[in-house]
Chain A
Amino acid sequence: MRISAVIPILGAFIGFLVVYVSSYTVPPTWASYLSLATLAGVDSICGGVRAGLEGKFHDDIFLTGFAMNTLLAGFLAYLGDRIGVDLFLAAVVLLGGRVFLNLSLIRRYWLNQSQMASRRKEAASS
């Protein structure tokens, strides 16, 4: 039941630990692009969870979306720096907004489900 929600978080934690203890780092000039890629990844995960809750989850869309969004976000920010347009900010605003939107929708679905479950329990007891 609730434990299944913990598994992805556990996965994220394990991935975090594995990379954190390894000595691998990227050049500092890439730092901002990497941060943006991370944000795009968060956005993809939230989008995936939301799609799953809505019952519209497609694994191909999810997998390609994660890969493409992450790479594209970094690449667009790099391109923006090159041509002198701050695409970095645009990406941050857009992705950040989407993360918040998805999170609020997930919260709503989750609340709905728990309310329905408690109502069903009441109906069964009465």
Chain B
Amino acid sequence: MSVFSSQIRHKPWGTQITVLSAILGGLLALSLKTQDRIRGEQMPSLRPNQFASAYSQLRDDVVDQKKTIADLQNRLNKYQQAAAAESGNAKLLSTDLQRANLMAGLVAVSGQGVVVTLRDSKKAPPRPNEMAPEDYIAMTRNYIIHSEDIQAVINELRAAGAEAIAVNDQRVVATTAIRCVGPVVQVNSIPTNGSPVKIKAIGDPDMLVSAMTMASGVQDQYKVTDPTMFSIDKSKGMTLPAFAGAQPIRFATPAQDKSAELAQRQSESSASSTDPNASMGGQSTMGTNNVTH
């Protein structure tokens, strides 16, 4: 008596079960293969918690890689110093390189300077019940530190001869962007805290302080709303970190002899004359340069 035949109706059903079992086996294999492939490719599936874990994983990776960058920069500096000790020619190159690195913000620097601290004001009036949140944000705009405030401070510091600037320990370099993204301030595309914002600048402390505190200067802008939003302290010695990012230069190439000369002459003439047409002329020659190249 077979298990796959019934006592009541002697209808054979084993074959059908077998055929469909084969199909089922195929289905099983197919889904197993697909799941294996998903796991192999580490493809985030549709579930959000997997996105979250992938995100935190990536964030840890970024922290690790930042450490690696710092290590490598340290080692590079050591190699350069070692090369400088070797021969006269390399020594010249190395001093040039050190100076270029210093200007580009690729090495950590220390010296005297000032620390400017910008804080959100605690004096902001509470939201009236009937007011829409958007209107309240517009109303309290002056009580909150925004990227424009930071940019204004950096601008003044630069004009007063600051040699190195860092915002919340992110070095400000030529390619730095400072912007508000939600409640945080992004410097070099790295989120830092929005308040208090610490801006460290290395330079002549007296000059920097007077540039900040001059009449109708940066500090005066906060007098009406809340003077505690802005504070400036001199520092005898502090260290600013090196620029940790590494943005590749893909589009800019050194200009050819002739066009470089022309551009140089244009910039000199526009600097010497206050004629507004000079800058226009500079733009138009740049245009013709583009055509000839």
Known contacts A12-B24, A45-B21, A52-B13; is-contact A19 B6 (Cβ 8 Å): no
- Smallest CB-CB separation from A41: which chain B residue? B24
Interface residues of B in 1-53 (CB under 8 A from A): 1-9, 11, 13-14, 16-35, 37-38, 41, 43, 45-46
CB of B6 within 8 A of CB of A42, answer no
Main secondary structure on chain B at its contact with chain A? helix
Asked if A75 CB lies within 8 Å of chain B CBs, one says no
Given contacts A32-B46, A41-B27, A55-B7, whether A11 and B33 have CB atoms under 8 Å apart is no
A11 contacts B34, C-beta separation under 8 Å: no
In the complex, the answer to whether B35 meets A16 with C-beta atoms within 8 Å is no
Assuming the contacts A31-B35, A59-B16, asked whether A8 and B21 have C-beta atoms less than 8 A apart, the reply is yes
Nearest chain A CB to B13's CB is how many angstroms away? 5
Determine if B17 and A28 form an interchain contact, defined as CB atoms under 8 angstroms apart: no
Q: How large is the interface on B (under 10, 10 to 19, 20 to 34, 35 or more residues)?
A: 35 or more
Query: Does A16 lie within 8 Å of B43, measured CB to CB?
Result: no
Verify B38–A52 contact, CB threshold 8 A: no
Task: Map CB proximity to B onto A97-126 as digits: 1 under 8 Å, 0 otherwise.
Answer: 000000000000010010001000000000
Interface flag for A93 (CB, 8 Å): no
User: Which of B1, B5, B23 has the most C-beta atoms of chain A within 10 angstroms of its own C-beta?
Assistant: B23
A12 & B33 in contact (Cβ 8 Å cutoff): no
> Among B14, B25, B38, which residue has the most Cβ atoms of chain A within 10 A?
B25
Contact-residue size bin, chain A (C-beta under 8 Å from the other chain): 35 or more
Contacts of B27 in A (CB 8 A): 19, 34, 37-38, 41, 70
A11:B2 contact, CB within 8 angstroms: no
- In the complex, what distance in Å separates the CA atom of A9 from the CA atom of B14? 11
Q: Which residues of B contact A19 (CB under 8 A)?
A: 25-27, 29-30, 33
State whether A66 and B34 are in contact (beta carbons under 8 Å apart), knowing that A5-B4, A8-B14 are contacts in the complex.
Answer: no
* A7 CB–B CB distance under 8 Å: yes
**Assembly CA distance A10 to B14 (angstroms):** 12
- CB contacts (< 8 Å) of B16 on chain A: these are 48, 59, 62-63
- State whether the Cβ of A83 lies closer than 8 Å to any Cβ in chain B: no
Closest-by-CB residue of B relative to A106 is B3
Residue of A at shortest CB range from B33? Answer: A25
* Bound-state Cα–Cα, A19 to B21, Å: 13
Cα A1 to Cα B33 in complex, Å, equals: 35
Query: A49 contacts the other chain (Cβ, under 8 Å)?
Result: yes
Which residue from A8, A10, A26, A59 sits with its C-beta under 8 Å from B34? Answer: A26
Known: A11-B21, A15-B22, A45-B20. Is A24-B30 also a contact (CB below 8 A)?
yes
Q: Are B34 and A31 in contact, with the CB atoms below 8 A?
A: yes
* Given A1-B2, A48-B16, A55-B9, residue A42 in contact with residue B32 (CB < 8 A): no
From A27, which residue of chain B is reached at the shortest CB distance? B34
Q: A57 and B29 in contact (CB under 8 A), knowing A1-B1, A7-B14, A15-B22?
A: no
Question: Which B residues are in CB contact (< 8 Å) with A57?
Answer: 6, 9, 11, 13
Chain A contact residues, CB within 8 Å of chain B: 1-2, 4-5, 7-20, 24-26, 28-32, 34-35, 37-38, 41-42, 44-45, 48-49, 52-55, 57, 59, 62-63, 66, 70, 81, 110, 113, 117
A-B contact pairs, 9 of them (CB 8 A): A1-B1, A2-B3, A11-B25, A12-B21, A15-B28, A28-B41, A34-B34, A48-B17, A53-B6
